[in-house]
Amino acid sequence: MDSVSLSEVTITRRTHLVEGSRAISSSVSNTKSQYVYGESLAATADSGYKMNGVNLKNRTLFGSVKERLLLDAYDDEYGGVVVDHGKLPSNPNVFTSMLRNSLSDWRRKGKKGIWLKLPVEQSELVPIAIKEGFEYHHAEKGYVMLTYWIPEMEPCMLPANASHQVGVGGFVLNQHKEVLVVQEKYCTSSNTGLWKLPTGFINESEEIFSGAVREVKEETGVDTEFLEVIAFRHAHNVAFEKSDLFFICMLKPLSDKIIIDDLEIKAAKWMPLEEYVEQPMIRGDKMFKRVIEICEARLRHRYCGLSPHRLISSFDGRPSSLYYNVVDDDQDHSHSTCSANIYE
């Protein structure tokens, strides 16, 4: 039996048969009926309940039928519910009925936050859910996530959408004290002609260190090895009111031939560090000036950045990258890279 083909029928005394989307017979004025697709449901005074002519003498069996009038969902660990987006009904009318039934059921059970993920192929269901009180949480290329907070006397405790975007910049310095720089094809008029570090955004589930190596490779064709996070910047209201984390990474060049990505890069070259610093835009920017000072201090072993160390937490059993560095570790000398020559 298709779980989207049934809806609840409240019966008293007389037989009421629902088939398709119309009532075959009804003789009690207080009968409540919701439209049904594809199945027949009946109740009799002497036999209890019938479905498609089959007696359901046990109310437990009828209860199992009622459960199929609800959206498929599972409980989360915070007292809420996550709707199974892979089992949503395709008919908007059926979805409306099942959503209302489900909300009533979740409210009766004391559930709190509801997560409803609607695939782009079923975007026609979005206005229905919004009308029932759901709110937009976030959207991705293939879906929209909606939420509903049931407790009226409690503040909503559902986590907000992601608040930050994460970017990386690659500071690549060769043995000739030349830094790898690019000119972007598309930039603001104030940045026209500026030679800058290769930069970009981290992909979903991508590490900071691998993202920096990837961005440099994509924009310039130069292979590199990640060394350290030299510093990171935290800024707000950067893009569509989102905050920004920008990690400046020191990378060791493994090749020197430049092959630019002409879709986004106008030019790329190895520029003497002194010439790079003397650019008016760089020289007049306190943050970039400080970044160069930090990188130079690292080259002279007067500064130590952050290196990733893969660890597994007992809380979730997942491997994570913990970024840190120590000047000296008697138990594990591999933790200390501050005194190492980055070009060895």
| Domain boundaries along the sequence of the chain | 9-67, 73-149, 164-299
Q: How many CA atoms lie within 13 A of 281 on its CB side?
A: 11
**So what's the pLDDT on residue 31?**
40
- Residues 6 or more apart from 320 whose CB is under 8 A from it? 310, 311, 312, 313
The DSSP element (H or E) to which 64 belongs, if any, is: helix 59-67
How sure is the predictor about 148, in pLDDT bands with cuts at 50, 70 and 90? very high
Fold of 164-299: Nucleoside Triphosphate Pyrophosphohydrolase (3.90.79)
- Tens of pLDDT, residues 158-173: 999 999 999 999 999 9
Q: Please state, for a pLDDT cut of 70, what percent of the chain lies above it.
A: 75
Q: Where is 63: in which H helix or E strand?
A: helix 59-67
Rounded to whole angstroms, the Cα distance separating 219 from 221 reads 6
Phi-psi region of 333 (alpha: psi -120 to 50; beta: other; left: phi over 0): alpha
At 199, the pLDDT band (50, 70, 90 cuts) reads: very high
**pLDDT-derived band at 15, boundaries 50, 70, 90:** very low
Superfamily for 73-149?
Gcn5-related N-acetyltransferase (GNAT) (3.40.630.30)
pLDDT recorded at residue 19: 39
- Average pLDDT on 73-96 reads 96
Question: What single string gives the DSSP state of each residue in 276-315?
Answer: HHTSHHHHT-HHHHHHHHHHHHHHTTS---BEEEEEE-TT
pLDDT value for 187: 82
Amino acid at 11: I
Q: What is the pLDDT of residues 220-279, one digit of tens each?
A: 999 999 999 999 999 999 988 899 999 999 999 999 999 998 899 999 999 999 999 999
Rounded-to-integer distance, Cα 229 and Cα 248, Å: 6
SS3 content of the chain, % helix, strand, coil (to 5): 25, 35, 40
Q: Can you read off the two tokens belonging to residue 290?
A: 């400080």
CA-nearest of 202, 180, 126, 171 to 298 is: 171
Q: Report residue 336's pLDDT band, with 50, 70 and 90 as the boundaries.
A: low
